Structure 1
Amino acid sequence: MTQTSAAFRRDTQSLDGSISLSEIISALSYALDLTEGAVHGHALRSCLLGMRIAQEAKLPSEQTSSLYFALLLKDIGCSRSVGRMSKMHGAEDRPAKAGLESEDWTRAHKPSLSTLKLLWSNVLPETGYLGRAARFVRSGVTHHQNISALSSLRDDRGAAILSKLGMDQIAADAVRSVKERWDGSGHPDSLKGEQIPLLARICSVAQHLDFTSATDGMQSAIDTLEQRSGTWFDPELVRMTRSLHRRGTLWNNCSPDNAEQDTRQAVLDLDSGRRHQLEPNQIDRICEAFADVVDAKSHFTYSHSQGVADAAFGIAQAMGLSRDRAQLVRRAALLHDIGKLGVANTILDKKSQLSPEEWKTVYEHPRITRRILERIAPFREMAVIAGEHHEKLDGSGYPDHLKAPDLSIESRIVAVADVYAALSEDRPYRAGIELDETMSIMSKLIPRQLDESCFEALVSVVSGQQEAISAPTVLIVGSPMGYPFKNAGFKNTAFESAL
């Protein structure tokens, strides 16, 4: 029996009803750090910092749970905004975003030299001097308008996803207002002072502390916080934070040098509701919500993960897998591309040939997916399946060049579903391929790269869908993101890469 179908089965059998919301969210928060370009563990450290400030502020107990999850999920709307930033500025999204986040735009006429240098180096990096200069000036002129649009997009989406996860309105409002500033210069609603929800004010302070301390040190984070007291930050929260810092109780387990497991354990210990176990439908909602985060990163990925999940679930059912195994396949398919949150939009949306370094980044995303998911013990089998969605039976896939004996039936199902979705949908460099041609291309990979029985099950599923709807020529599954396989007869080098 193969490794995926046997070695981790005991974990999967205990998945439903044996895991808490904090265990899942604290692990998946690492994926949000990828989107932000933050130092590894940013969400966890922000959570510790924010909860300590809340304790100092004597936050009512009925609000602490809302704050806890707002701190872990405050960046959940970021994937769409970084994609828009890349399009607006022609920049590598995460470094540029980091520069904008750290700059005090209450003094927009006096941006720091370091921020100007960072933005210049990332604006249209492959373009000549005149082209970069023109985009740089244009970005500066439209900066306020751009930031306002990005903030609204990010914060509204973040709040909507929290609602989908079943969080209360207090948590959703905190995420939506995390970019508001005490003096009214923030976004998306230019709220001022105590108009800003208290939980959002705490999140804002905690986020600043971790971002700044990770790059410039803890004392610099406190100094900058004090400098922006009354402009960015609530002066009373700044006073409380300074007091915690002086007493030596603010930074425990909040250094990037601290062991990852210690930081996460400290976060889990804060959750008074940790013993509340999730129902299967709640786990599904979490997987669906994070699939939405992944797909929002690029307009070429709209509904891709959901499309792969639908196809994979249909294949699993057609092949006679049990309900639990089919559901496992569906969840793995929903989260298979979560590692792509660490891939820049300048790569994902590129129409021309990728460089060798860009390909290295693409090839790593399944490994990152696996590393994120295996942080959750009951997700370990799911992590393997999701991390193998680009492997091929003949060893030509990536990242580990596994061969048929190493690949479970569940991994083979997700691989077939991903290729099917990828061919069916638009890419930066070509339109989606019609159904007949998609099936023809895939059939040429049987049985060398793709599993024959999985492909036959896909054909039966698609045939059934085609019979149920009159006569469309293209079956829209989702908006895929991966890269097609070699030897398919296409000219674009990016299009010829193995899925």
Structure 2
Amino acid sequence: MQTTIDPVMPLSELMLALTMALDMTEGQPPEHCIRCCWIGMHIGEEIGLTEQQLYDLFFTLLLKDAGCSSNAARICELYLADDLTFKRNYKTVGTSLSSAINFVVKNAGAGQSWMTRISTTIDILKNGTNYAQELIETRCTRGAEVARELRFSEDVAQGVHSLDEHWDGSGKPEQLKHEQIPLYSRIALLAQVADVFQFEHDLSTALDEVKSRSGKWFDPRLVDAFVSVSQQLAFCQGLNANDICQRVMNLAPAQVSISVNDEYFDCIVTAFGKIVDSKSPYTAGHSERVAVYTDLIAEELGIEENERKWLKRAALLHDLGKLGISNTILDKPDKLNDEEWEAVKTHSALTEQILLQISPFQSLAKIAGAHHEKLDGTGYPKRLSGDEISLMTRIITTADIFDAITAERPYRGAIPIPKTLQIMEENLHTAIDERCFNALKIAIHKLPSHYLSSEVA
């Protein structure tokens, strides 16, 4: 297992990999945030930003969607729609009223009965402005908080917060206008729209779309800069290149190559664990609790402190792939159908796929990605069994199951700890490792009081 951090690992490598998770929660194709960074950084260079400004712009672009998981459940509640599809389609809505109405009609209550769709559509047409204000404010506020938790400057935090402000004052959440809007926000929104349309269609279509919004959504000076960089061969070749991630890293200011020490690494991992848990009210605090339980179980099993530190990090990110699962499934109060269950089962593989992009997580990616495997071979995603499942994975699995049972779920209330332990004991040797379970029974008596909402046996 990896037990040290490469002292020269650039911050950009870590953040670029984790943006894959942000792409998923927005329903965007892979590397959307990275392509936005490519577009935005070229605009920044074109208008002559300083090295420090480019540094802040770089992370504003990568973190523009950091708060997007926080409004997913509310979108499903208000629009009765799949949040991932809703968010993906919303990014293509034009500036006209007819475009907005068409979006509502197509997306409100999608998949529901006609009566439900009609009533939902009427509600949205009546209250849509207030709903949009609420959803954007939630996302922008949380995104700015994440930027601060990650120790970026207040300029980055404000850049993320004001992503949806428009040049003419028609945006949200504060209806800022012209130079009131942070420069990084103005660049990030333009880059976002440009990427959505160029990826879906082509660069020419993106240029037409951006130019049509000049003076409305976008700062005309930035539109001119985008038009200029779009004529550069290197920009066009890199935009959809297979090695776009490396190209963006090469484009990053020298400051971005600052090293990530142990303490800062933990800060970043914790922040992304919170992003995952923000997606559903039923997962609030889940990753943090699983990490605490994991650490206590590992300690009882005599695992060395430095290994425990890395295992705790894997536990914090074990559900990263859930950002790619719709809240219509995650928060469903009824039994999942076969299609929904298959969608849920993809989250473990998605977690592994993302973590494999981070060099210090090469070994831990498989540990975190296997937390739903079962000793009897009936788990997922690879149907591993017996000795194919490492002790480290078994520890996270035990912690995850314990929290899943003791926490409230859409279809039931929280289950007391004594009953939870009884349920878990019935699954020894099939889903749960006996050594880990015995360690858990000892460990729960060491938990801080705020973790013990149920009576300890």
User: Would the alpha carbon gap of residues 220 and 474 (structure 1) be closer, same or farther in structure 2, given more than 3 Å must change?
Assistant: farther
Matching of residues 113-124 of structure 1 within 5 Å? 115-116=103-104, 118-120=106-108, 123-124=109-110
- Please name the residue that 2:61 is paired with: 71
Cα distance in 2 for partners of 1:358, 1:150 equals 25
Structure 2: which amino acid aligns with 1:218? L
1:270-419 → structure 2 map (5 Å cutoff): 270-271=251-252, 272-419=254-401
Number of the residue aligned with 1:488: none
Contact 2:165 2:174 in 1 (8 A): yes
Identify the residue that residue 35 of structure 1 maps to in structure 2: 25
Secondary structure at 1:459 match in 2: helix
Question: Which residue, out of 64, 76, 81, partners 1:86?
Answer: 76
Preserved contact between residue 17 and residue 279 of structure 1 (Cα < 8 Å): yes
Report if aligned partners of 1:99, 1:118 keep a CA contact under 8 Å in 2: no
- 1:152 is aligned to 2:137: yes
Task: Pick closer, same or farther for the CA change 1:254–1:472 going to 2, 3 Å.
Answer: closer
- Number of the residue aligned with 2:244: 263
The change in CA–CA distance for 1:281 and 1:16 in structure 2 (over 3 A counts) is farther
Instruction: Report the Cα distance in structure 2 between the residues aligned to 1:113 and 1:464, rounded to whole angstroms.
Output: 55
Alpha-carbon distance, 1:420 to partner: 0.2
Residues 470 and 213 (structure 1), Cα distance of their counterparts in 2 relative to 1, 3 Å cut: closer
Q: Secondary structure at the match of 1:393?
A: coil
Tell me, which stretches of 5 or more residues in structure 1 are unaligned? 1-8, 476-499
Contact 1:317/1:326 (CA < 8 Å) preserved in 2? Answer: yes
**Which of 181, 188, 191 is the equivalent residue of 2:176?**
191
5+ residue gaps, structure 2, are: none
User: 1:68: Cα distance to partner?
Assistant: 0.4
Of 13, 24, 27, which aligns to 2:14?
24
Q: In the TM superposition, what are the counterparts of 1:112-261 in structure 2 within 5 Å?
A: 115-116=103-104, 118-120=106-108, 123-125=109-111, 127-255=112-240, 258-259=241-242
Deviation at 1:103, TM superposition (A): 1.6
Aligned residues of 2:167 and 2:218 also touching (Cα < 8 A) = yes
Structure 1 residues 137 and 203, CA, compared in 2 at 3 Å: closer, same or farther?
A: same
One-letter amino acid of the counterpart of residue 155, structure 1: C
Percent of residue pairs bearing the same amino acid type: 35
SS in 2 for 1:103: coil
Residue 473 (structure 1) shift = 3.5
Q: Distance in 1 between matches of 2:435 and 2:346?
A: 28
Letter in 1 for 2:56: S
- Residues 194 and 335 (structure 1), Cα distance of their counterparts in 2 relative to 1, 3 Å cut: same
Give distance in 2, aligned partners of 1:200 and 1:233: 10
Shift of 1:407: 1.2
Aligned pair count?
455
- CA deviation vs aligned residue, 1:120-160 (integer Å, no higher than 9, x gap): 5xx251x3211111101111211111111111100110000
Question: Which residue identity lines up with residue 337 of structure 1 in the other structure?
Answer: D
What is the SS of the residue equivalent to 1:220?
helix
Please tell me whether the aligned partners of residues 177 and 187 of structure 1 are also in contact (alpha carbons under 8 angstroms).
yes
Give the AA of the match of 2:212: Q
Quick one: which amino acid aligns to residue 422 of structure 2? S
The residue that corresponds to 1:428 in the other structure is 410
Amino acid paired to 2:74: R
Matching of residue 59 in structure 1 with residue 49 in structure 2:
yes
* Kept after mapping to 1: 8 A contact 2:148/2:154: yes
Deviation at 1:97, TM superposition (A): 2.0
Task: Output the CA distance in 2 between the equivalents of 1:117 and 1:124.
Answer: 9
Scaled by the length of structure 1, what TM-score is found?
Answer: 0.88
Please state how far the C-alpha of 1:273 moved relative to its aligned partner.
Answer: 2.8
Give CA-to-partner distance per residue, 1:229-276, whole Å, 9 cap, x none: 000000010011112223445333212xx31xx111011112213542
**Residues 375 and 98 (structure 1), Cα distance of their counterparts in 2 relative to 1, 3 Å cut:** same
Q: What is the one-letter code of the residue matched to 2:37?
A: C
2:297/2:439 contact within 8 Å kept: yes
| Alpha-carbon spacing, 1:471–1:160, altered in 2? closer, same or farther (3 Å) | closer
**3-state SS of 2:5 partner:** coil
> 1:15·1:379 contact (CA, 8 Å) conserved in 2?
no
Cα offset, 1:114, TM superposition:
6.0
Partner of 1:444: 426
* 1:457 corresponds to which of 425, 430, 439: 439
Rounded to whole Å, the distance in 2 between the matches of 1:160 and 1:452 is 40
Contact 2:273–2:317 (CA under 8 A) maintained in structure 1: yes
Counterpart-to-counterpart distance in 2, 1:193 and 1:469: 47
Write out per-residue CA displacement over residues 167-190 of structure 1, whole angstroms, 9 at most, x where no aligned residue: 011111100011000000101110
Name 1:5's counterpart in structure 2: none
Tell me: CA distance 1:340–1:473, structure 2 relative to 1, closer, same or farther (3 Å).
closer
Shift in Å, 1:217:
1.5
SS in 2 for 1:142: helix
Matched, 1:111 2:99: yes
Q: Distance in 2 between matches of 1:250 and 1:17?
A: 31
CA shift for structure 1 position 474: 4.0
Q: Report the Cα distance in structure 1 between the residues aligned to 2:397 and 2:129, rounded to whole angstroms.
A: 43
Between the aligned partners of 1:99 and 1:43, the Cα distance in structure 2 is 17
The question of whether the paired residues in 2 share the 8 Å contact of 1:291 and 1:334 is answered with yes
